[in-house]
Amino acid sequence: MFLNKKKVILAISVSSLIFFSIVNQVKSQEIRVVDGDTIHLNGEKIRFSGIDTPELKQTCIKEGVTNPCGVTAKEMLIEKISDNKVECSSEGKDRYKRTLADCFVNGESLSTYLVRSGYAFAYRRYSKKYIPDEDYAKANQIGMWNMKFQYPWDYRRKN
């Protein structure tokens, strides 16, 4: 009888540990998209490393029509994330104390998605990782590549 009680207590303890471990993994995320390349994830400000998206006030021109390309980049990111879990791989901090990271939804890099969609650029000053994705978008005239635009770093310098 005493041995059975030990087994029951052990089984309950192990089950409790497994349950709380799963609950902690499944708990909901608090996420806010700031712009095309910056999110707040559970209170941490994360800047996607190696890419640069247009600023929110930045516009592009296609066939004489103004396009809010900075807002479009943010909306694309919001839509891509949707209700999915975001997982980020930290690569350090930048000079503004933001976490630099590559973030993923369902195993797909959000940075790769934005660059290949033509609404982000390979930030060559800091990384060469996304150049093939940018080359793809440019060659296929995807997103901003079929508009007149300023690179985000040039836009920031002038504004």
CB hemisphere CA count around 83 (13 angstroms): 0
Q: What is the pLDDT of residues 116-159, one digit of tens each?
A: 999 999 999 999 999 999 999 999 999 999 999 999 999 999 99
Which is more confidently placed, 59 or 28?
A: 59
**Per-residue confidence band for 28, with pLDDT thresholds at 50, 70 and 90:** confident
State pLDDT tens for residues 59-85.
999 999 999 999 999 999 999 999 999
Q: What's the Cα-to-Cα distance from 145 to each of 120, 152, 155, rounded to whole Å?
A: 10, 13, 16
The dihedrals phi and psi of 65, each to the nearest 5 degrees, come to -105, 130
Q: Which residues pair with 52 in a beta bridge?
A: 121
CA dihedral 31, 94, 73, 153 (to 10 degrees): 160
What domains are there in the chain, each with its CATH number?
Answer: 29-147 (2.40.50.90)
Q: By percentage, how much of the chain surpasses pLDDT 70?
A: 83
